Amino acid sequence: QACTQTYIVKNYFYYYLFKFSAALGEEIFYITFLPFTYWNVDHSVSRRMVIIWSIVMYIGQVSKDILKWPRPLSPPVVKLEMRTNAEYGMPSTHAMAATAISFSFFIATMNQYKYPSELGLVAAFVVSTLVCLSRLYTGMHTVLDVIGGALISAVLLMLLYPAWDTIDHLLLTSPFCPLLSVVVPLVLCYNYPKLDYYSPTRGDTTTILGAAAGATVGFWLNNQYAAPAYTSKSFQPGLPLVTSRMVFVLARSFLGILVVLLTRWLMKNVVLGVLSYRYKFPIRDLDARRRLEVEVPYKFVTYSSVGFTATVIVPLLHQLLGLM
């Protein structure tokens, strides 16, 4: 149900801080930060974050629809978001994603780059805490939802960490990787727990697994047929060199995000057009787009194309334009 409460903002600092923090657990963050690390930081770091993110989010989304714990009642809580109100509350997938991404980034980089580990740990803790607090501020979760999500994510991270290298090696070298990367997520999406009413959790889960599937196929192809990673040339610190590197980072990021967004827009329209023709429904019919036979292929094909574009097409463009 839509949120109909009105509210007055009395503290704009907290309001914008927590609205921004909430966005760190949404699609706009995933579609920019995860590719950014692939283009500008390190391929191995990005691969590990994608693996952890997709597994953690799938378990979190499924747990919501199995436990069926309601979100906070409104009133008395004032809800600042509308879309996710139809979902159940426990666990908070914002808390899960923030914990998984921030700490997996810290763990994956602390042994590869020279920076104070204490600073990295504090940064990961601050980011995950801000996202968790944002879910309380926006009225979308209880304290228990947030704590539960963060703890589940932390446990999964500890369980998966010893197998990181093994999973990564298999994703890069196994001849079965492309097939399994597509088939397994599709099976999980088509067999998602059924609810008595529509919830965006199945569509969101398909989006996440689709993006991870496309990225994983891209990882495999790059390892088989292209350079395994961007080469980072050593250089002496200096303002001109630092400025030059920043220009390249900004150029790669701007071009990459533009191409990714164009891919998402194009594939959404193409896939919806094909499905509307196949199942005979108007392309703007929201109820028809929520049907299993429409929602899963629409979301999966669109976002697997996004993941593939971010890991294969964009790096090729970077190479062609001399932005490596």
Count other Cβ atoms within 10 Å, centred on residue 245: 14
Question: Token digits for 18?
Answer: 């927590």
**d(C-alpha 294, C-alpha 54), whole Å:** 22
> Which residues are identified as catalytic?
94, 141
End-to-end CA distance of the chain: 48
**d(C-alpha 134, C-alpha 129), whole Å:** 8
How many residues are listed for the chain in this entry? 324
Is pLDDT above 50 for 218? yes
**d(C-alpha 150, C-alpha 123), whole Å:** 16
pTM listed for this prediction: 0.83
Predicted confidence at residue 243, as pLDDT, reads 65
Among the listed ranges 193-197, 265-269, 308-312, which one has the minimum average pLDDT value? 193-197
* Confidence band, pLDDT 50/70/90 cuts, at residue 250: confident
* Confidence band, pLDDT 50/70/90 cuts, at residue 31: confident
Is pLDDT above 50 for 149? yes
**d(C-alpha 255, C-alpha 278), whole Å:** 34
pLDDT in tens, 271-302: 988 988 888 888 888 888 888 888 889 999 99
Predicted confidence at residue 284, as pLDDT, reads 82
Mean pLDDT of 242-270: 86
* Confidence band, pLDDT 50/70/90 cuts, at residue 303: very high
Predicted confidence at residue 233, as pLDDT, reads 40
**Residue corresponding to tokens 């495999």:** 220
Of 50, 14, 4, give the one whose Cα is nearest residue 311.
50
One-letter identity of residue 4: T
